[in-house]
């Protein structure tokens, strides 16, 4: 662990400015110009609090933290990557309510030996992730501390629509998904095994590992599809952060239904991950099984899982991957082609 009095790292590059070389004001003066502005901002960062327009009369609010060595490693993820991931994780939660993200606040706990450029990169990464939806960063907080922690809170506008909750799935509804499935888990596995390097997922990289490693470092959530799903009458929705089976299970329990996934509909995603499994040295059946496990249990792709009435036209970006059935005698749960899936349960921070 590090503190502001620890010796400088031996390999400190010539002229590198660390967080502990600056005052809070000096660090913020580097960060503020990098933050995205947005239409909903009435008063941005710099005062005791920000003021954000909520034309709908209601606002959506959600928060998520990223913790070093739990959600990211600095030797794999740049500040830009962590900023983009922290923003997307929150923007996806707003989108999963059928809302348009408007304003974020970003709080950082930073050890003193972190380069100031890493914190500036984080602001750039947040800005890059916010750009497609026009969301602003309107404030945040800074603290020193032993562990690097990034906490983001995001707000959103329902624009007059009803929120799309987890509990609204009804028997007969179509289960659909927008976004990628399993790529982040595949990228994490490749990095963890040393079968790929962070450079393989850098912006613009085009090698065979690029989709997986970039999918882990900077997941791309289908944010516009969330608003489209709300407008199209989605009955339930959530973003897939902990794995398709685990998150579909949350929807099934909240709605009191069975979510039955269609293995054939998931097959293209599985095929798309088999090359990553082979890069880990797996062959044949073992590679196919690993790819299926990533699709069903991999987290952090932040795709949107939604249910729609059978009569609804699926909005752009969604593909059907199953149906909602009456809860069986066994209770609300997720099945794959009608049977209990054989693969792992997905991510839980406390091992459950």
Ligand X SMILES: Nc1ncnc2c1ncn2[C@@H]1O[C@H](COP(=O)(O)OP(=O)(O)O)[C@@H](O)[C@H]1O
Positions at the binding site for substrate = 71, 300, 347
Contacts of 47 (CB under 8 A, 6+ apart): none
Q: Is residue 242 involved in binding Mg ion (CB under 5 A)?
A: yes
For ligand X, the binding residue among 20, 31, 44, 64 (CB under 6 A) is: 64
For ligand X, the binding residue among 241, 255, 307, 335 (CB under 6 A) is: 241
For residue 112, give the nearest of 32, 19, 24 by alpha carbon: 19
For ligand TPP, the binding residue among 215, 299, 303, 341 (CB under 6 A) is: 299
Contacts of 234 (CB under 8 A, 6+ apart): 98, 164, 168, 306, 307, 308, 312
Of 200 and 300, CB closest to ligand TPP: 300
Of 92 and 136, CB closest to Mg ion: 92
Question: What residue 227 binds from Mg ion, ligand X, ligand TPP, none (CB within 5 to 8 A, per partner kind)?
Answer: none
Question: What residue 72 binds from Mg ion, ligand X, ligand TPP, none (CB within 5 to 8 A, per partner kind)?
Answer: ligand TPP
Distance between CA atoms of residues 200 and 285, nearest Å? 26
Of 20 and 302, CB closest to ligand X: 302
For ligand X, the binding residue among 80, 81, 93, 301 (CB under 6 A) is: 93
Question: What residue 71 binds from ligand X, ligand TPP, Mg ion, none (CB within 5 to 8 A, per partner kind)?
Answer: ligand TPP
Question: What residue 157 binds from ligand TPP, Mg ion, ligand X, none (CB within 5 to 8 A, per partner kind)?
Answer: none
Q: How far is Cα of residue 183 from the mean position of the Cα atoms in its chain? A: 12
C-alpha distance from residue 142 to each of 26, 129, 145, 320, 352 (Å)? 12, 21, 10, 43, 32
Contacts of 283 (CB under 8 A, 6+ apart): none
- At its nearest, how many Å lie between ligand TPP and the CB of residue 71? 5
Which H or E run contains 321?
Answer: strand 318-326
Q: Are 98 and 227 in contact (CB under 8 A)?
A: yes
Binding residues for ATP: 140-141, 166, 241
DSSP 8-state assignment for residue 75? T
Distance between CA atoms of residues 302 and 222, nearest Å? 8
For ligand TPP, the binding residue among 158, 188, 296, 321 (CB under 6 A) is: 188
For residue 324, give the nearest of 264, 258, 263, 253 by alpha carbon: 258
Nearest residue (beta carbon) to ligand X: 241
Which listed range, 86-94, 128-136, 284-292, 324-332, lies at the site for Mg ion (CB under 5 A)?
86-94
Q: Is residue 260 involved in binding ligand TPP (CB under 6 A)?
A: no
**Sites of contact with Mg ion (CB under 5 A):** 64, 93, 239, 241-242
The residues binding ligand TPP (CB under 6 A) are 64, 70-73, 89, 188, 241-242, 299-300, 347, 349
């Amino acid at each position: 662990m590090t503190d502001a009095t620890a010796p400088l790292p031996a390999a400190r590059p010539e002229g590198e400015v660390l967080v502990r070389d600056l005052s809070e004001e000096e660090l913020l003066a580097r960060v503020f110009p990098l933050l995205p502005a947005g239409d909903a901002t009435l008063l941005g960062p710099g005062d005791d609090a920000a003021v954000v327009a909520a034309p709908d009369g209601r606002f959506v609010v959600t928060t998520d933290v990223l913790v070093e060595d739990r959600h990211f490693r600095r030797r794999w993820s740049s500040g830009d990557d962590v900023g983009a991931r922290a923003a997307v994780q929150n923007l996806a939660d707003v989108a999963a309510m059928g809302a348009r993200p408007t304003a974020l606040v970003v709080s950082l706990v930073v050890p003193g030996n972190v380069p100031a450029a890493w914190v500036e990169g984080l602001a750039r990464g947040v800005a890059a992730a916010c750009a497609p939806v026009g969301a602003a960063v309107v404030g945040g907080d800074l603290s020193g501390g032993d562990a690097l922690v990034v906490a983001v809170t995001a707000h959103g506008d329902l624009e007059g629509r009803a929120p799309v909750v987890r509990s609204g799935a009804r028997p007969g509804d179509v289960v659909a998904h927008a976004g990628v499935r399993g790529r982040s888990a595949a990228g994490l596995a490749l990095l963890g095994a040393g079968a790929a390097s962070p450079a393989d997922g850098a912006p613009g990289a085009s090698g065979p590992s690029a989709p997986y490693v970039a999918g882990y470092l900077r997941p791309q959530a289908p944010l516009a599809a969330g608003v489209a799903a709300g407008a199209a009458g989605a009955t339930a929705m959530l973003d897939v952060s902990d794995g398709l089976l685990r998150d579909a299970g949350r929807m099934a329990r909240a709605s009191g239904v069975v979510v039955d996934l269609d293995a054939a509909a998931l097959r293209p995603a599985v095929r798309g991950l088999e090359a990553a499994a082979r890069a880990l040295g797996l062959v044949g059946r073992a590679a196919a099984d690993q790819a299926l496990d990533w699709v069903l249990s991999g987290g952090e792709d932040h795709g949107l899982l939604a249910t729609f009435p059978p009569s609804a036209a699926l909005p752009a970006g969604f593909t059907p991957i199953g149906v909602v059935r009456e809860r069986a005698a066994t209770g609300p749960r997720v099945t794959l082609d009608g049977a209990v899936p054989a693969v792992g349960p997905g991510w839980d921070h406390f091992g459950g």
